[in-house]
Structure 1
Amino acid sequence: MKKAISFFFAICTVLMLTACTAGTSGDGTTTNKNTSVQGKDGKTDKKDSLVIGFESDATTLLANWDVNYITTAQIRNIYDSVINRDPKTGELTPGLGVSWENIDDLTWRIKLREGVKFHNGADFNADAVKFNIDFILDEKNGSFYRSRWANVKEVKVLSPTEVEIITSKPFPNLLQYVASDLLIMEPGYVKEVGNDVAAKKPVGTGPYKLTDWVRDNHLKLEANEDYWQGTPNIKKLEFRYIPEFSARLSAFLSGEIDLFKNIPVDSISEIENSANSKIADVASSRINYLALNTLTEGPMQDIRVRKAINYAVDVDELLNSILNGHGTKMTGPLSIINSGYTETADYGYDPDKAIELLKEAGYEPKDLSLTLETPRGRYPMDSHVAQGIASQLQKIGVEVNVQVNEWGTHLEKIQNRKVGDMYILGWGPAYEAQSTIENLFTKVAPYSSFYDEKIEEHIYAANEIFDEEKRYEAFEKVQHELVEAAAWVPLWQQADLYAIRENLNFEPRVDEYFHAFDMSWK
């Protein structure tokens, strides 16, 4: 019997408070000028262009390769998804695929949209979907999505508008991965020019085409006038790379950029008091955490040390003093916005217990020296949070060396298992349990920091359960196991703050993407 599966997600509102903290460090300059000019009345003479300030360059313009929000948020304007999400609820909605069904435990069928063209005029069809899934699965492509799609056995083209995905094991979460991972490149073009060229000069079906990409400076796109959903209102789109927050803020206040996210809480009033500016906030589906690296030899491989770190980090103090309450505290691996969330025990703040556990593990706190790595400007107050954690650990006598990385370097070190004892990272968008737990707590996942053989067995077993109640119970058990194992130090569900030009029609999404097709000027 065929089973039609629908996924619904409960989105919880986060109560966020506005206040002030110490000033945000960092300086920088930007010399590029937007085509818009800010007049004396503070209103922008905007034509048909939009400039979005980003903290980092995309690592590639190749689809289906880099598991990295910074990259994905940009290239989703070039490529389309087979399945989309509702921007407010996260519910699955049609994209290049118009309908889908679960035939049996190992078979999924997707009906595709007709009449869609790639930027080079080629037809979109089922062969294109097969090519892009096969691209992920082909080991020689080195896709960081490959571990997420390992259970896909075969993709069959049934007709130009129908594709069937066969899995080697039950894969009830497949549609979630289709929505979050899969973007469609033009097969003929990629085969002709190769991955290296396609990574610099992409061809998709999306609302925008590449015009210019200058590394560490900008990505410029132009509207696809023949886009299947209609011509975009924004004709020229630019992502401008400004690593330092203070430089992004200056660029926004001077009218050089029109939109950026991750505003530190100490800058809210400055933006609110600026002409033609506004702030929007949304409860993100992203979580922030302190990873404890057990994948390389070191003190974090001892559970007593990991538990000690949990007891020594005062999450409530960090959340209140550094973020002014802009976030929702977590005690386990999932946030309350996640459909698989279950309440877990809170270690709480107990420095005496932390010292006791370190001594049990054979460490005098004063003799223990740890490295804590963090990006700066990627997550709200990230380097400040790292310094706060270091200060708290130093209160019990542990020496902590904070190392600030450029964002691309930070990710590369994590992926290549060259990171230190601890690191700050975020994960999302994530709406259900598997997307977070499998990708952060299994041995082969590129951003994992923790592995336990028995827990991994439980994770993979839970992945295969179709029955919703039994699946929930299985992931509930895993969440408690991860907390008991002190797999990491959970921090908070991120609250996203955006600086927006007042006359820009823009609504923040829970998945944090910037879909310029949905934007326009008033």
Structure 2
Amino acid sequence: MRKIAWVWLMIVLAVTGCASTNGSGQEKTLTIGNTIDNVTFDIHDHGNTQTESIHVNMFEYLVKKDGNDPQKKLPGLATSWKRTNDKTWRFELRKGVKFHNGDPFTAADVKFTLERVAKDKSLVDYSAYSGIQQVNVIDDYTVDIITKGPDPIMLARLSRISSGILPAAYFQKQGVEGFIRNPVGTGPYKFDKWIKDDRVELVKNTDYYGDKPQWDRLVFRTIPESTTRISELLTGAIDIAVIIPPGDIQRVQDSGSTYYTDKDSARVQSLLVRQTPGVVTANPKVREAIELAIDKKALVDNVLGGAGVPTQEAIGPGILGHDPKLFNTNVYNPERAKQLLVEAGYPNGVELTLSSPASTKEVAEAIAAYLTEVNFKVKLEILEQTQYKQRDNSNTFKELALQGKGNSMFESPLPLEVFTTENAKGQTDYSNSEVDKLLKDASTNLDDQKRAEQYQKAQEILAVDRPRIFLYQNKFNYGVNNRVEFTPRVDEMFYADDIKLKE
């Protein structure tokens, strides 16, 4: 009987993967419940924050962001750096670093990684790196990054998603598909398994050059349904759950075994608004009516439980180009929204489709209700994450799509450059030559004050043209098991060795 009970206990521990102590030879495991699966292990071919939060434990950047002040950059695989002229950055690289397969880390790996994403237009993150002309290897531990024009945010580019350094020889030998099956980085944790739509498991890198990894195993589980994710947290099957719905916050706080924590983020929730000729939202009066119909403050207070700030801009405080006049604003005016529809030629209302991922269903339902009150006839389309992503990648949304966009650079270009005529083509089909010029000029302006003014002016135009209707800046929240000490980061990353198991 005792043997059966012991076997059953081992099965439970294996399935849940919850945090355990090192006593009795047990594996020390941290389990995190995300809402979506890992997109890919090709770090250049995705733009997903939850995927990056897995990858940061495997792949390391030349420079790292401070967890509380992302404008502050810390040494990573580069120990020092300096700008040698307007188009050149020199980086001194860390010595004695090995990839998970044993290959030494050298300047050749930096050159391969950055030139790959800077030159291959098919990669998702190409546009964020296309300004890199070339990477020159000075010696095994020194590189010069040469840009096509002055780049005021080079350090920000090198501290996020597509800047994790790849092993050049191994990647070229394995090919993309081979690398995705068995990815290799320099980080404190290395790949063990990926069960699609279920989990990613990493194990500690015993040859890591830095401090000894704290955990034996990291498990990132895919749990899209919030009810299931909260249940798994409350029963101890996972240690950290992302995105706690407002209705579940009190349960997490009162359970006795878990706690709730949140953090302001750079993520902004917005409505993508198609302006393709012939589409009803191509009419500026219709777009204005949509924004005026939505009570953003009530949306934040009642649906999000206060976990956000109403906004009319793509970026928030602390990021150069933030416009205080557009932040913490609410232009709710339903009577004017009704009048605008009449002026637009729709006295009896007009039909439109609002698409949303399942993770923001409650927000989408509230927006649909607001729009209905001012005579829009709304078809609400709630999509599972995979289907939503496919529609987003293929640019096949209809009039409106609810989207949360992070800002892994913590700089204005990432959220704003999507509004250039070239980048908006096929998505919103927005075009404004003044915005194009402002963003182009700002991208190479090394004068921070003037650059900030250019971004602010662009945002003022966008607030009127509404290729996106910005709703609110998110707070990102978590439920955490009491046995774990966890302080959220403003960039939403899970650096496992910053998460402690209480003794």
Q: Which amino acid aligns with 1:139?
A: D
Structure 1 match to 2:338: 355
Instruction: Output the CA distance in 2 between the equivalents of 1:440 and 1:94.
Output: 33
Aligned partners of 1:77 and 1:208 also within 8 Å:
yes
Q: 2:436 aligns with which of 456, 463, 467?
A: 456
Counterpart residue number, 2:41: 61
1:195 pairs, out of 151, 168, 176, with 176
- The runs of at least 4 consecutive aligned structure 1 residues that moved more than 3 Å come to 35-38, 344-347, 439-443, 445-450
1:408-453 Cα offsets, whole Å, 9 max, x none, are: 3222312221112111111223522222211455532799646323
Q: Which residue of 2 aligns with 1:25?
A: none
Q: In the alignment, residue 332 of structure 2 is paired with which amino acid?
A: Y
Question: Which of 198, 210, 213 is the matching residue for 1:232?
Answer: 213
Residue of structure 2 aligned with 1:415, choices 393, 398, 410: 393
1:436 is aligned to 415
Match of 1:87 among 57, 67, 74: 67
**Percent identical across equivalent pairs?**
29
Q: Distance in 1 between matches of 2:14 and 2:294?
A: 41
Deviation at 1:308, TM superposition (A): 1.4
Letter in 1 for 2:393: Q
**Map 1:5-404 → 2, pairs under 5 A:** 33-36=15-18, 47-90=27-70, 91-139=72-120, 142-181=122-161, 182-294=163-275, 298-344=279-325, 346=329, 348-366=331-349, 368-377=350-359, 382-404=360-382
> Does the Cα contact within 8 Å between 1:375 and 1:383 map onto a contact in 2?
yes
Normalised TM-score (structure 1): 0.88
Is the deviation greater in 278-287 or in 340-349? 340-349
| Residue 467 (structure 1) shift | 0.5
Alignment-mate amino acid for residue 408 of structure 1: T
Separation in 2 of the partners of 1:422 and 1:493? 19
| CA offset digits 1:159-185 (Å, max 9, x no partner) | 111111111122211221111231111
For the structure 1 residues 32 and 484, does the alpha-carbon distance in structure 2 shift closer, same or farther, using more than 3 Å as the test? Answer: farther
Which amino acid in 2 is paired with 1:389? I
The one-letter code sitting in structure 2 at the alignment partner of 1:373 is: S
Are the equivalent residues in 2 in contact too, given 1:295–1:450 (CA < 8 A)? yes
In structure 1, how many angstroms separate the alpha carbons of the residues matched to 2:66 and 2:419?
A: 25
In structure 2, the CA distance between the partners of 1:497 and 1:46, relative to structure 1 (3 Å rule), is farther
Contact 2:310 2:330 in 1 (8 A): no
Cα distance in 1, alignment partners of residues 356 and 318 from structure 2: 25
User: Are the equivalent residues in 2 in contact too, given 1:332–1:490 (CA < 8 A)?
Assistant: yes
Mind listing any 5+ residue stretches in structure 2 that lack a counterpart? 1-11
Q: What SS class does the counterpart of residue 398 from structure 2 fall into?
A: coil
Structure-2 separation of matches of 1:439 and 1:101:
29
- TM superposition shift of 1:36: 4.3
Q: Label 1:197 to 1:73 Cα distance change in 2 as closer, same or farther (>3 A).
A: same
Q: Which of the numbers 491, 502, 512 marks the counterpart of 2:492?
A: 512
SS in 1 for 2:379: strand
Counterparts of 1:100 and 1:46, CA distance in 2:
42
Q: Is the 8 A contact 2:62 2:75 kept in 1?
A: yes
CA-CA distance at 1:391 after TM superposition: 0.5
CA displacement at 1:70 relative to structure 2: 2.3
Is the alpha carbon distance of 1:297 and 1:58 closer, same or farther for their aligned partners in structure 2, counting shifts above 3 Å?
Answer: farther
Cα distance, 1:402 vs. partner?
Answer: 1.3
> Which digits, 9 at most, give the CA deviation of each residue in 1:391-416, with x for residues without a partner?
01101111111111222322231222
- Cα distance change on mapping 1:308 and 1:212 into 2, 3 Å: same
The AA in structure 2 aligned to 1:313 is I
Contact 2:204-2:215 within 8 A present in 1 as well: yes
CA distance in 2: counterparts of 1:447 and 1:326, whole angstroms: 32
Instruction: Name the CA shift for 1:166/1:446 in 2 (closer, same or farther; >3 Å).
Output: farther
8 Å CA contact 1:62–1:200 kept in 2: the answer is no
Describe the SS at the equivalent of 1:122. Answer: coil
* Equivalent residue in structure 2 for 1:405, among 367, 383, 388: 383
RMSD over aligned CA atoms reads 2.2
In 2 relative to 1, CA 439–115 (structure 1 residues): closer, same or farther, beyond 3 Å? Answer: farther
Give secondary structure in 2 for the equivalent of 1:129. Answer: helix
Relative to structure 1, the CA distance from residue 505 to residue 31 in structure 2 (aligned partners, 3 Å threshold; closer, same or farther) is: closer
Q: Structure 1 residues 46-55 or 88-97, which shifts more?
A: 46-55
| 1:491 has 2:474 as partner | no
- How far does residue 119 in structure 1 lie from its aligned partner after superposition? 0.3
Q: CA deviation at 1:37?
A: 8.5
Amino acid paired to 2:411 = E
1:510 deviates by: 0.3
Q: Which amino acid aligns with 2:36?
A: S
1:286 is paired with a residue of what secondary structure?
strand
Return the alpha-carbon distance in structure 2 between the equivalents of residues 437 and 314 of structure 1.
24
> What is the TM-score normalised by the length of structure 2?
0.91
Q: How many residues align?
A: 481
Q: Which amino acid aligns with 1:359?
A: V
Given that 2:92 and 2:142 are in contact with CA atoms closer than 8 Å, whether structure 1 keeps it comes out as: yes
Give the drift of 1:200.
Answer: 2.2
Amino acid at match of 1:443: E
Distance 1:447 1:333, change over 3 A: farther
- Gap runs ≥5 in structure 1: 1-29, 39-44
Counting helix residues as a fraction of each chain, which structure ranks higher? Answer: 2
In 1, Cα distance between equivalents of 2:167 and 2:276:
37
